[in-house]
Amino acid sequence: MKVGDKVRFLDAVGGGTVTSITGSDCLVEDEDGFEIPTRVSQCVVVTDEDDARAAGHAPVHQAPPSQSAIERVRLVNESEDLKKENSQLKQRIHELEEENERLKLALLKAQWPENKDKRKASVNPNKLPLEMIVQSRPYEVLRGDIIEVDLHIDALLDNTAGMDNAAMLKHQMEVFRQTMQTYRHRTGQKIVFIHGKGEGVLRKAIIDDLKLRYPTCMWQDASFQQYGFGATQVTMK
């Protein structure tokens, strides 16, 4: 023990800082500034950690995290990184699909005989032959004068890995709106959207979108004999 050490008394409550040592005696200054004479043998040196433990607080030095805790933190961080990468990938896929659609229409315009004259302004896609537009989209079929659009997710995408139900529904609605946009000026054109019966989520989303975005268009259940309850027919107005 030396001057400046923090001590506590063995045979009494209290303690303080050693201010002087004379032989086997010493003076201990308590928190109020009073010097208490006591014997060296009746004092024990304490550390800050001892003080904290005696006061009922957590010790100053804590045990390092376990290996399992470190592994859990690593997995959580990797999961967040994967979610971010997945979101960015979905956005990129959507952008590429839109670009692919524009390229298809550009190719159709270039192949159309009436557009061979490069001096002409760009051709209105609504004047392209209906067969040419439908053939450029693998999920569309022309049956007589009716366009049939299959909105089942496996007809739209080759791979849905990493997509939840909400992401699939979002993509299906994007295809629906893209189709409506393509044929919006073809008055009287009938389009059958095959959505399946299921729980009715996609059908409800289509009808809600028709009411909000295309209030002038007419819609009804498609032929029950052909589609059962799994399709909606829209007539462009």
pLDDT tens, N- to C-terminus, the chain (237 residues) = 888 899 988 877 788 999 998 888 999 898 888 888 888 888 888 876 555 455 444 444 455 666 777 777 788 888 888 888 888 888 888 888 888 777 777 776 666 554 444 444 444 555 567 777 777 778 888 888 899 999 999 989 989 898 999 999 999 999 999 999 888 888 999 999 999 887 789 999 999 999 999 999 999 999 999 888 899 999 998
Per DSSP, helices labelled H in the chain are: 48-54, 67-111, 130-135, 153-156, 165-182, 201-213, 224-227
**What is residue 177's predicted lDDT score, i.e. its pLDDT?**
93
Tokens found for residue 226 = 């052909």
**What is residue 122's predicted lDDT score, i.e. its pLDDT?**
47
Please enumerate in sequence order all residues whose Cβ is within 8 A of that of 178, keeping only pairs 6 or more positions apart, or say none: 101
